């Protein structure tokens, strides 16, 4: 059935957390998980979807956690950005191993390792069928990779930004620890902000709202779920201007 359903989104920004890349370990990098995710992305590309990936770095280093332990926040955030570059390189390797061309573009110039993020260059890669992997956040401290995902989605003319999580949408609380948590199929940007739902940080939601960018929260735990979501067949929460 999935092969006959039309694509709802032809260009997508996929936000992958560092934790998603670490698997059950919660720390470091699980190449088995990365390969499975790379196959999911490949399946979407082969269906005709342009994919921009924004990776987090929480499996290696989280700036807020470093700041909480007494480190200067800007320094901690820069360390977190470098962690995202490591994840981006590993995910690039996973994509190339399954035969999908990709490029890593970093918001912090490091020409020995990867290309610098330039919008025109990123669009060129996307239009030539390559997966664009955005690393190093926005290149600025005090901004999360959630905000980066919303920003890059808008810059790259994406139809939506999708946040890949371990649960099948947005809940009123963590369903893994609270059996009374309520799941939402649809929400408005205003509801997410007013209820302080921990979907993405406030700056990311506000940026999406101001640019009419739909935000989709879905589970990446099931293989093939990315293409199902793109066809509107996966359980997910859609956040937009009106319900």
**In the predicted structure, residue 146 carries a pLDDT above the cut 50:** yes
- pLDDT range class, residue 238, cuts 50, 70, 90: very high
Mean pLDDT of the chain: 93
pLDDT tens digits for range 52-65: 999 999 889 877 77
* Total number of residues shown for the chain: 243
- pLDDT for position 1: 44
Q: How confident is the model at residue 90 (pLDDT cuts 50, 70, 90)?
A: very high
Between CA 40 and CA 99, with CA 95 as vertex, the angle to 5 degrees is 95
Task: Report residue 47 as tokens.
Answer: 């269906």
What domains are there in the chain, each with its CATH number?
Answer: 11-240 (3.40.1160.10)
Confidence band (pLDDT; 50, 70, 90) for 93? very high
Spell out where the chain has E strands. Answer: 11-16, 50-55, 102-106, 115-116, 131-135, 160-165, 170-171, 183-184, 186-188, 215-219, 236-240
pLDDT score at 3:
47
Retrieve residue 31's tokens: 């190449």
Mean pLDDT of 1-6: 62
Instruction: Give residues with Cβ within 8 angstroms of 83, minimum separation 6.
Output: 18, 57, 58, 59, 60, 61
- In this predicted structure, the answer to whether residue 170 has a pLDDT above a threshold of 70 is yes
Mean pLDDT to the nearest integer, 189-205: 93
For helices 145-155 and 119-127, angle between their N-to-C axes, nearest 10 degrees: 70
**HSE on the CB side for 168, CA within 13 Å?**
10
pLDDT of residue 64: 74
Sequence-ordered alpha helix ranges (H) in 27-160: 31-46, 63-68, 73-97, 119-127, 145-155
Give the residue-averaged pLDDT of 2-21: 87
- Contact yes or no for 225/219 (Cβ under 8 A): yes
**Per-residue confidence at 4, pLDDT binned at 50, 70, 90?**
low
| 67-88 pLDDT, tens digit each | 778 889 999 999 999 999 999 9
Give dist(CA 198, CA 172) in Å, integer: 9
Q: What is the pLDDT of residue 243?
A: 63
* Residues 235, 225: Cα–Cα separation, whole Å: 9
Residues near 177 by Cβ (< 8 Å), separated by ≥ 6? none
Higher pLDDT, 228 or 222: 228
Share of the chain above pLDDT 90, in %: 79
The pLDDT score that the predictor gives to residue 16 is: 96
CA distance 103 to 96: 10
Q: How far is CA 155 from CA 118, 137, 145, 151, 164, in A?
A: 10, 14, 15, 6, 20
**Residue 34 scores a pLDDT above 70:** yes
Does the pLDDT value for residue 111 go beyond 70?
yes
């Amino acid at each position: 059935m999935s092969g006959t359903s039309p694509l709802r989104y032809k260009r997508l920004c996929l936000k992958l957390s560092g934790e998603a890349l670490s698997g059950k370990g919660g720390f470091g990098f699980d190449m088995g998980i990365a390969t499975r995710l790379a196959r999911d992305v490949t399946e979407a590309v082969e269906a005709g979807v342009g994919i921009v990936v924004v990776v987090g770095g929480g499996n290696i280093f989280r700036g807020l956690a470093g700041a909480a332990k007494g480190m200067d926040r800007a320094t901690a955030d820069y360390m977190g950005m470098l962690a995202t570059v490591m994840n981006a390189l590993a995910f690039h390797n996973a994509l190339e191993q399954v035969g999908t061309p990709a490029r890593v573009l970093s918001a912090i110039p490091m020409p020995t390792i990867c290309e610098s993020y330039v919008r025109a260059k990123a669009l060129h890669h996307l239009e030539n069928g390559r997966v664009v992997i955005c690393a190093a956040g926005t290149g600025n401290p005090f901004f999360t990779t959630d905000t980066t995902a919303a920003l890059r989605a808008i810059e790259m003319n994406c139809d939506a930004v999708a946040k890949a999580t371990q649960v099948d949408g947005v809940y009123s609380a963590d369903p893994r620890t609270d059996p009374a948590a309520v799941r939402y199929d649809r929400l408005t940007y205003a509801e997410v902000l007013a209820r302080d739902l921990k979907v993405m940080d406030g700056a990311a939601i506000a940026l999406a709202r101001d640019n009419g960018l739909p935000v989709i929260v879905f589970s990446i735990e099931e293989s093939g779920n990315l293409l199902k979501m793109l066809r509107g067949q996966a359980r997910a929460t859609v956040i937009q201007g009106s319900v």
